[in-house]
Chain A
């Protein structure tokens, strides 16, 4: 967040899965809730957030379930209420924010290929759709024949995203990248300039992993913070 502010971000959007992986769920929710309350940020609900107040045990692996069970013991009622009150999808004039895909958002479909990106863009109908869920950064763009083509962005490059075609940005994960690089992923969109820049920034993932271990969460959840896998 500090890095984003440094880069001049005026509004933040959290694309879901606020809890369910990390060892600081309370602090994180409080901070995001405050930003949302003061209209400085938007947030949508992710599948791991929903697991706090819905029964997903059959759909998640053992590690994820353990993390959810542990997180439940940490949160107070108002924090759970905050998660429960998060919208599934936010539609603005040109932009759509959603955790997984604008196509049946509650089914938590992954946007990973041309087809899933096309469904997502079709359903949102917006010029820009930003999603999380999938852990790897990608930018899908509409070609002349309407098909969406995947592009692997290079961190720090300003990519012009002009508004006459549709774009789906898979922003990646702040704390859970899966491409072998543990640095946090985020993206900055500048509507006036029609420019999208994907970013990676280092944070103290050793400390984060230690906290996960100390909380008694599965070792694998701690390790993947360090390896980025």
Chain B
């Protein structure tokens, strides 16, 4: 491939104090194998700027240019609070650079290297945030494919940012790294078995990488080591990671279940969406415990042998579209008015919820109820205290959902405190990437209250997803 000859001059163009397309270059803040990073300023842009300049020229690997081009394409298209904002770029042939927001924070890698011991709760929080950040990519049909501690920045408030899209894939753009000669590009400890086989279109690869990071933060070890050979890399298609609870006893069973499920060799056996993973990390009681949670010892020699033989015919699962994850495992919110006395409506809501869940075997139901506000003083009777009121509502919700006979991992209950229930429900739907909100509208509208009606209109207008109004 023809690479512009004038490109050697790049080092002369990008120096502290020089101005490129209005960007005033500051200090070089990092020099890596593939790119240099400069801080910069520009009139009219009041956020800190970072200029990324690929290391190109005769002695440089051609990959650095391709991944630069890939990052440019994908970063430019992404809009996410968990990704640095794209601010501009230079001509690829003469002065290649990408200008982006300079995000505060340190790489998670630094903390690991310092030997920090992560509390279990801390790992759960990082995992949930990471899953949310990854979901924001998948929702836009992008897959990161290089999720590793080096590429995760965490700021002083714990806010997380994903960086480096040089190996990423986006369904809406040509994949410039497809059919590359070298298979399994990425970082050895973190890439999924399908990536080892050269597949770059499976969003569930990111879920595998999150599993590796969770494992590493919990145990201080890498589940499949840091292999340098192809056969070493292939080991993850058949080997089972040493159970985390055997390394650190205090890890709860449910968490071991979650981590090991992320690390399943076949993408179909992992969680099918990052949102689902996040929800489970935040609601451990919904985790369905299997044999994975019980493991305390590594596989026996014979069991390993069997798995190795099975993996000889390892066939990666077909890759669905990234934004599909949430469509196949949708989160459905049933907004339930527990004061509602209309038996007909109650039944209809239940039937509707049941039918929707029949269509989506991986779908989950969140039963939601709002309360105006809890008393600030603590009453004497349990039913008058804040926790008592919430508990009472929860029981009502569980009662409501009983006829649906859903297993615990498919249903959860929330009582939200809100003066403005509509806004609260809409926000909840946004935060949890819900796919559908069910609301009931009774003919016998309670005391003909209009506020209740406007509340429904508001949900319909502002919801980030479909709204299903159940009528009697």
Cα A144 to Cα B1 with chains together (Å): 7
In contact, B66 and A141 (Cβ under 8 angstroms): no
Q: What residues of A have a CB within 8 angstroms of the CB of B389 in the complex?
A: none
In contact, A149 and B179 (Cβ under 8 angstroms): yes
Q: What residues of A have a CB within 8 angstroms of the CB of B2 in the complex?
A: 164-165
Q: What residues of A have a CB within 8 angstroms of the CB of B69 in the complex?
A: 160, 162
Cα A164 to Cα B175 with chains together (Å): 16
Within 8 A of B (CB), among A143-164: 143-147, 149, 151, 154, 157, 159-160, 162-164
Q: What residues of A have a CB within 8 angstroms of the CB of B92 in the complex?
A: 162-164, 194
Known A139-B174, A146-B1; contact A163-B93, beta-carbon cutoff 8 A: yes
Q: What residues of A have a CB within 8 angstroms of the CB of B132 in the complex?
A: none
Q: What residues of A have a CB within 8 angstroms of the CB of B3 in the complex?
A: 164
Is B62 part of the contact surface with A, judged by Cβ < 8 Å? Answer: yes
Is B424 part of the contact surface with A, judged by Cβ < 8 Å? Answer: no
Distance in Å from the Cβ of B174 to the closest Cβ of chain A? 4
Q: What residues of B have a CB within 8 angstroms of the CB of A162 in the complex?
A: 69, 92-93
**For chain A, which range describes its interface: under 10, 10 to 19, 20 to 34, or 35 or more residues?**
10 to 19
Within 8 A of A (CB), among B163-192: 171-181
Cα A163 to Cα B65 with chains together (Å): 13
Q: What residues of B have a CB within 8 angstroms of the CB of A159 in the complex?
A: 73, 173-174
Within 8 A of B (CB), among A112-161: 139, 141-147, 149, 151, 154, 157, 159-160
In contact, B178 and A143 (Cβ under 8 angstroms): yes
Cα A144 to Cα B181 with chains together (Å): 8
Cα A144 to Cα B64 with chains together (Å): 12
Q: What residues of B have a CB within 8 angstroms of the CB of A146 in the complex?
A: 1
In contact, A144 and B73 (Cβ under 8 angstroms): no
In contact, B179 and A143 (Cβ under 8 angstroms): yes
In contact, A143 and B180 (Cβ under 8 angstroms): yes
Known A164-B1, A164-B2, A165-B1; contact A145-B172, beta-carbon cutoff 8 A: no
Q: What residues of B have a CB within 8 angstroms of the CB of A165 in the complex?
A: 1-2
Distance in Å from the Cβ of B2 to the closest Cβ of chain A? 6
Q: What residues of A have a CB within 8 angstroms of the CB of B178 in the complex?
A: 143, 149
What 1/0 mask marks residues of chain B from 47 to 79 whose CB sits below 8 Å from any chain A CB? 000000000000000110110010011001100
In contact, B181 and A160 (Cβ under 8 angstroms): no
Is B358 part of the contact surface with A, judged by Cβ < 8 Å? Answer: no
Known A159-B173, A160-B72; contact A144-B62, beta-carbon cutoff 8 A: yes
Q: What residues of B have a CB within 8 angstroms of the CB of A147 in the complex?
A: 179
Is B4 part of the contact surface with A, judged by Cβ < 8 Å? Answer: yes
Q: What residues of A have a CB within 8 angstroms of the CB of B77 in the complex?
A: 157
In contact, B179 and A157 (Cβ under 8 angstroms): no
In contact, B73 and A160 (Cβ under 8 angstroms): yes
In contact, B66 and A144 (Cβ under 8 angstroms): yes
Q: What residues of A have a CB within 8 angstroms of the CB of B179 in the complex?
A: 143, 145, 147, 149
Q: What residues of A have a CB within 8 angstroms of the CB of B176 in the complex?
A: 141, 143-144
Cα A194 to Cα B72 with chains together (Å): 12
Distance in Å from the Cβ of A27 to the closest Cβ of chain B? 37
Q: Which among A141, A144, A145, A149 has the greatest number of chain B C-beta atoms within 10 A?
A: A144
Cα A160 to Cα B174 with chains together (Å): 9
In contact, A151 and B93 (Cβ under 8 angstroms): no
Distance in Å from the Cβ of A4 to the closest Cβ of chain B? 22
Cα A219 to Cα B98 with chains together (Å): 54
Q: Which among A146, A147, A149, A160 has the greatest number of chain B C-beta atoms within 10 A?
A: A160
Q: What residues of A have a CB within 8 angstroms of the CB of B65 in the complex?
A: 164
Instruction: List the B residue with the shortest CB-CB distance to A139.
Output: B174
In contact, B76 and A164 (Cβ under 8 angstroms): no
Q: Which among B66, B172, B175, B180 has the greatest number of chain A C-beta atoms within 10 A?
A: B172
In contact, B76 and A144 (Cβ under 8 angstroms): no
Q: What residues of A have a CB within 8 angstroms of the CB of B181 in the complex?
A: 144-145
In contact, B180 and A160 (Cβ under 8 angstroms): no
Within 8 A of A (CB), among B94-115: none
Distance in Å from the Cβ of A161 to the closest Cβ of chain B? 9
Instruction: List the A residue with the shortest CB-CB distance to B177.
Output: A144
Q: What residues of A have a CB within 8 angstroms of the CB of B171 in the complex?
A: 154
Cα A145 to Cα B65 with chains together (Å): 14
Distance in Å from the Cβ of B303 to the closest Cβ of chain A? 41
Cα A139 to Cα B172 with chains together (Å): 12
Q: What residues of B have a CB within 8 angstroms of the CB of A157 in the complex?
A: 77, 172-173
Q: What residues of B have a CB within 8 angstroms of the CB of A194 in the complex?
A: 92
Known A143-B180, A149-B178, A194-B92; contact A164-B4, beta-carbon cutoff 8 A: yes
Q: What residues of B have a CB within 8 angstroms of the CB of A164 in the complex?
A: 1-4, 65, 92-93
Residues of A within 8 A of B (CB): 139, 141-147, 149, 151, 154, 157, 159-160, 162-165, 194
A-B CB contact pairs (8 Å), 14 listed: A141-B174, A144-B176, A144-B177, A144-B181, A154-B171, A157-B77, A157-B173, A159-B173, A160-B69, A160-B72, A160-B76, A162-B93, A164-B1, A164-B92
Q: A149-B179, A157-B173 are in contact. List 15 more A-B contacts (CB 8 A).
A: A141-B174, A144-B1, A144-B177, A145-B180, A145-B181, A146-B1, A151-B174, A151-B175, A154-B171, A160-B69, A160-B72, A164-B1, A164-B4, A164-B65, A194-B92
* Minimum-distance CB pairs A-B, first 3: A151-B174, A162-B92, A141-B174
